[in-house]
A and B are shown apart, each in its own frame.
Chain A
Amino acid sequence: MILHLTINGREQAVDCEPYETLLNLLRRVGFTGAKRVCESGECGACAVLVDGRAVDSCIMLAAQADGSRVTTVEGLGDLRDLSAVQTAFADNGAVQCGFCIPGMIVAATSYLEENPEPTEEQIRHVFVGNLCRCTGYVKPVEAVLTAARRMRSGGNGD
């Protein structure tokens, strides 16, 4: 079947199988930022924004995203133009192996739109769906607080 999607701002027609997950489709067409980890919606490493809402792309059928705007971590910032959240993760030592980080950045970006002035406690609850085995969550949580602060004062901090 042919799907019509807007991926990171670009409209695309993509052929897919009816059983294919959104994660598989995105990785297949070259957006490898979303990671394949549990394939059962338990860890959050495959999170992407579908019409602005963070979802686990491993448990969403690609067909369900037909007609939607999909944003992956690649769509949030570029190597030479990082988003505020990406910058804060890089600057705060929040990235170790980095495999869970795209999912955390997507989840945090989506949450900060909803709540630009989060508490540490609130961020910890947002990250309940994002498992990390490297960081102990200390620096990722600090990174989101830093990003929120910088965004409120109007910069991306880079």
Chain B
Amino acid sequence: MAAIAEVVGTEPRRHSQSYLMGWLTTADHKRIGIMYLLAATFFFAVGGLEALMIRIQLSSPGNTFVTPALYDQLFTMHGTTMIFLAVMPLFIGFINCIVPLQIGARDVAFPRLNALSLWLFVLGGILLNSSWFLGGAPNAGWFNYAPISLTPFNPGPGIDFYDIGLQLAGIGTLMTGVNFIATIINMRAPGMSLMRMPLFTWTTFITSVLILFAFPPFTVNLFLLMFDRLMGANFFNIAKGGNVLLWQHLFWIFGHPEVYILILPAFGIISEVIATFSRKTLFGYDSMVLATIAIGFLAFTVWVHHMFVDGFGPYVNSLFAITTMAIAVPTGVKIFNWIFTMWGGKIKFTTAMLFATGFIPLFVIGGISGVMLAMAPADFQYNDSYFVVAHLHYVLIGGSLMGVLAGAYYWFPKITGRLLNETLGKWHFWLLMIGFNVTFFPMHFLGLLGMPRRVATYSAAMGQAVAFWNLVATIGAFILAISFLFFFYNLFKTLRSGEQAGPDPWDARALEWAISSPAPVYNFAKTPLVRGRDAWWVEKTEGDGHLRSAEPEADPHEEHAHHGIHMPTGSIYPFLIALGLMIAGYGAIFGLLLLVAIGLVLAFFSIHRMIVDEDPGEIVQPVGGDGE
């Protein structure tokens, strides 16, 4: 963190605060975004190591590298970590760093709530991962089906760590959703009408709506499981009238929108990157926005396709198969729009652009296997086989992660002020493309050959082909891992001695590129006046290359000609709320009521302070004059 902080010295530190307190109390969206990115990168590395251990175990039939019990924990934590603690927070990190800049705002609508979101995520993630050292990690898969997650089948504390860790992180995410909806509705600069918003802002908006409506069912589900495990309730206990399908329904009512929460921001990033490096405005902007809204709506109507084999019968299954296949339509619209954006453009293949173009074929493969899975009768064959594993990795790595990496290479200069090394970046891209496809394409075959997912090993009797493709996949996984060594080395090298980026290294289109890199603490010295779609491009091509100010000219005769900029101040209470809830969580897991009480008192005292305190704000004097 220190290395980054040197680069991003954006927040004027008050002298009474230590360095650490500066970060713990910050409410600056850029700093919060950076902490999201750092924590999520750490969790990503952890999840990646878990994946490597899985692949080593599966490299040959009958392997005993890990025990079946440990294997269960590994695949559970790999999935849970990657989805909740890596990819989603990476997107939230970019959203925090970039969206307020794209709409010409000085901060988000609720800066302190934003800090609360961050700390709930970080501490929830730490709580979840501490399970490795405190009695065993969760082992019932990332979707944690009942009854395998209930006490009789799973007496250890692992599931409780899953439950409470995700509860904390989930509440944090919900707050982020509320925050960014309010930010995008209310904090846009004058002239930034909805249909002028950059696509990344649009997808953030729809993603936030999905978060808002998808996370509460998950919260409820986790509470029900907690009641079952810790308080003897019977929601999922069949002997007392419970219903295990209830978990599946609530989980997937959340879970399907969740996978769109993981892909929509990637759509946004790809749209930004492709438009920038094709030097054209995005093709079919209106249809892009409509497609995003349509995907967001359909997200809530398809969840039973995860449950086709549960036996709801042909009518229910057909209904959900049709809604699922319908999603291919707006998604196809997007794919074609990206291709048409590149068509006839002056394409420049920077690393960011490579990732964005690489995204398209990989995501199409994932989408097509998705439509295959959506056909209910065929799904009975694919269900719980490696075919599903191949599909979900094509959409989550080929889709989401490619989006994250395109965003990383694209916005790294905006966030830190330095350009990532392009040569290392291209090594990263090509090794990743090779490693990824070598790892996951064979999994389609493995699934069709009958290899089930989530089983610690397979028999040599399954045949030569199964053993061969598994070995290939393991080799691919190591190539993939090596590609990330290039990335991490690149990050390290760039932060130490990277090339200075300047405000607009890519000659890009959206507002974030109109201000210095990294952005000053107040973002825009004067609130900009937005005069068109691709707001910054409009100023560069039709204006004088400077942002117009939306603020009235200060009257020089007035006594205080320049009043400075009113900025929110930080607070320690968001951190303390999250800390209190984390302490209470540990208390609940280990049945220590005193610890629960201490944690809740701390949390409620801090909530009380958040309710009654009024942020006085502070006045910051801008350095330059015109927002450059």
The answer to whether A and B interact is: no
Chain A positions within 8 Å of B, measured between CB atoms, are: none
